[in-house]
Structure 1
Amino acid sequence: MRAIMVDADIYYLLLAFILFNLSKIVGSIRLNRYFRAVGIELSELDALRLYYIGMFYNLFLPTGLGGDGYKIYALNRRYKTKISKLIPLFLLDRLSGLIPLILFGAVLLLFSRFNKDIYISYLAYGTILLSIPALYLLNLYLFRDYIKIFLATLSLGAVLQLLQLISALLIVYAISQQDNSIEFLTLFLISSIVAVLPISIGGVGVRELTFLYGLNYIGLDSDVGVVFSIIFFIITVTSSIVGGVLKSI
């Protein structure tokens, strides 16, 4: 594994880092749309600062609870917005990113070597057909206050995930796994979905295990997958440290 890390193309990794952070800027813009829907007026720059500080806190608690908790605390303290009003906002923000993640994962699954069974195809097609309508109905009946920004936030969520997917693809190229790019990206998306569960901090261990078992399942070298996961984690931590710096200023 050490040799794979050492031989990784630094230029691809730098581009992956840039694309990852661009995705976070898009995420900040999306979250700010939710803020404005409840009357919280933040400039895009202030929203971005809050977003990165939240990323920093995400390093210490599972599934982003630390980051969301900090943002709820900060907004409640500064704008006196009720916590009961902020929690649904952050839940929807998560869902508007999760649904495109699941959707992209289902599409890639269809074209990957993991699609060995007709039931996997059925699952993928069902996910593609039902995920967006399910989110819309959830918005319509449970979060009606946000229905006007449904399309905008969902679109921003899709752009965010697409940027992260391209970032992941650049890591794949950096470690010379172009021939297995669909499989790596499929596992990347699956591991991102699993990382939402409150079973690890910052996705540590979850991505590695996903790649370990996933690549073994189709007969590929799992060590390369673990290296991919480590590189992505390093990019995440490095980017999140910016939030720690901003918090201290």
Structure 2
Amino acid sequence: MQANTLKPSVASNPSAKFNSKQRKIDKKNLIDFLKSLFKKKFLMVLFSAGLLYLLLMDVKFSEIIHSIKTADLFLLVIAFSLHALGLTISAYRWRLLLKSLKVPSKIPYLIKSYLVATFFNHFIPSTVGGDSVRAYDSYKLGNNKSKGLAVIMVDRFLGLLALLIFVIISTFLSIEVSSKIPSLSLLIVLASVGAALFIYFIFNPPIKFFTIIEKSSIKIVSKFGSILVKIGGAFTQFGNRRKTLSKALALSFLLQANVILYYYLISKALGFDVHIFNFSLIIPLTIFITMFPFSVNGIGIRENALFFFFSFFGIAKSQAIAFAWIEFGMLLTLGVIGGFVYMFRKIEAEKVKEAIS
């Protein structure tokens, strides 16, 4: 009886029909999205597992554990504490960019946002990454989506630029590593051109040129152009704030120096005899390599890259793997801390997605 009374109400109400169809479409889209996400993640897990298997084939697991157990705990604690310094520098850079757009913020709030972002990056298997969380927080502070996204995009690009310049400079400081990297001259040329384009792009975003690319009849070119227009639009908001961008870039260099010191201390804890200048090239290159979205959180790629570089100094494979796992363990610990912060803040992933859509 109740079912019969429901049917006429739906039939007589077009909006109810539409909502019913919309729910079916949304459900189908969700299922398709989850299938696609599962397939992508499954392939990434396979890729990571395959790389680890190839690397661990001729290594005794007990040797890796021994290297970890015998590491200098005091130096590891100091290394981990550098995350606090890194978060503070990052927060000041973020606040500097927000302030230039007249968006007020407080350092403790921004640090908490970075911690939550770390949690999302390492523990939430979805399209909502750490940058999305930070974009949402920027949006909440200024109540403006475009400003929120612009700040995060500029912040991210300044970090990449600092990393790129570190590679160029360190090529001449770390002869022991640079002399053994194939096609080094080509790498320097590409990095230099990339850095020059980065700098020009930051201070003079060519929006008109990007718009022409966006209107291309070739779909992939048009899509790429659309991305460039969005990024260029973000930098346009900072067009008359070159002093702010210069200060933010300086903080990015300071942050990268802190990252290199962090890795160097982990190496000393394991007894590695590798000069810190060599880390100024090894670490930026490793970070660039792990940025490729082929594996889960860079697992497998990170270990192989570090072993490749450390082999130049006669460091055993088991020690290189121990180094990678200690460093990754510290990142996961930071992510767990971010998880607790997330629990108290009660941010819903869906709200983050809606805010930046």
Letter in 2 for 1:101: L
Once the two structures are overlaid, the 10-residue window that deviates more, 185-194 or 18-27, is: 185-194
The 1:77–1:100 alpha-carbon spacing in structure 2 relative to 1, beyond 3 Å, is closer
Give the structure with higher Rg (CA).
Answer: 2
1:22 paired with 2:85, answer yes
Whether the aligned pair in 2 keeps the contact of 1:107 and 1:124 (CA below 8 Å) is: no
Paired position in structure 1 for 2:282 = 187
Counterpart pick for 2:330 among 209, 218, 235: 235
Paired position in structure 1 for 2:159 = 97
Counterpart pick for 2:198 among 127, 135, 150: 135
Letter in 2 for 1:49: K
The 1:77–1:86 alpha-carbon spacing in structure 2 relative to 1, beyond 3 Å, is closer
Alpha-carbon distance in 2 for matches of 1:179, 1:164: 16
Q: Deviations over 1:104-133 (max 9, x none)?
A: 233333323342378414633663x55554
Give the 5 Å matches for 1:23-172: 23-60=86-123, 66-77=129-140, 79-82=142-145, 84-110=146-172, 111=174, 112-116=176-180, 119-121=183-185, 123-124=187-188, 127=191, 129-130=192-193, 132-142=195-205, 143-147=235-239, 148=241, 149-172=244-267
Whether the aligned pair in 1 keeps the contact of 2:137 and 2:148 (CA below 8 Å) is: no
Letter in 1 for 2:149: I
The 1:181–1:221 alpha-carbon spacing in structure 2 relative to 1, beyond 3 Å, is farther
What's the TM-score, normalizing by structure 2? 0.61
The 1:118–1:79 alpha-carbon spacing in structure 2 relative to 1, beyond 3 Å, is closer
SS of the equivalent of 1:59 reads helix
Q: Which runs of 5+ in 1 are unaligned?
A: none
Alpha-carbon distance in 2 for matches of 1:179, 1:117: 17
Letter in 2 for 1:145: Q
The 1:217–1:179 alpha-carbon spacing in structure 2 relative to 1, beyond 3 Å, is closer
Letter in 2 for 1:103: I
Q: Which runs of 5+ in 2 are unaligned?
A: 1-63, 206-234, 345-357
The 1:28–1:78 alpha-carbon spacing in structure 2 relative to 1, beyond 3 Å, is closer
Alpha-carbon distance in 2 for matches of 1:215, 1:44: 37
Whether the aligned pair in 2 keeps the contact of 1:172 and 1:184 (CA below 8 Å) is: no
Deviation at 1:73, TM superposition (A): 2.7
SS of the equivalent of 1:178 reads coil
Whether the aligned pair in 2 keeps the contact of 1:136 and 1:150 (CA below 8 Å) is: no
Deviation at 1:180, TM superposition (A): 6.0
The 1:75–1:223 alpha-carbon spacing in structure 2 relative to 1, beyond 3 Å, is same
Deviation at 1:53, TM superposition (A): 1.4
The 1:48–1:117 alpha-carbon spacing in structure 2 relative to 1, beyond 3 Å, is closer
Alpha-carbon distance in 1 for matches of 2:180, 2:291: 26
Alpha-carbon distance in 1 for matches of 2:343, 2:197: 41
1:3 paired with 2:98, answer no
Alpha-carbon distance in 2 for matches of 1:41, 1:195: 34
Letter in 1 for 2:134: K
Q: Deviations over 1:58-102 (max 9, x none)?
A: 11369x9611112223443564312x4433322221121122222
Whether the aligned pair in 1 keeps the contact of 2:139 and 2:149 (CA below 8 Å) is: no
What's the TM-score, normalizing by structure 1? 0.85
**Root mean square deviation of aligned Cα:** 2.7
Once the two structures are overlaid, the 10-residue window that deviates more, 101-110 or 48-57, is: 101-110
The 1:195–1:2 alpha-carbon spacing in structure 2 relative to 1, beyond 3 Å, is same
Q: How many residues align?
A: 246
Alpha-carbon distance in 2 for matches of 1:99, 1:65: 24
Alpha-carbon distance in 2 for matches of 1:65, 1:92: 19
Identity fraction in percent: 21
Alpha-carbon distance in 2 for matches of 1:3, 1:109: 33
Alpha-carbon distance in 2 for matches of 1:98, 1:183: 19
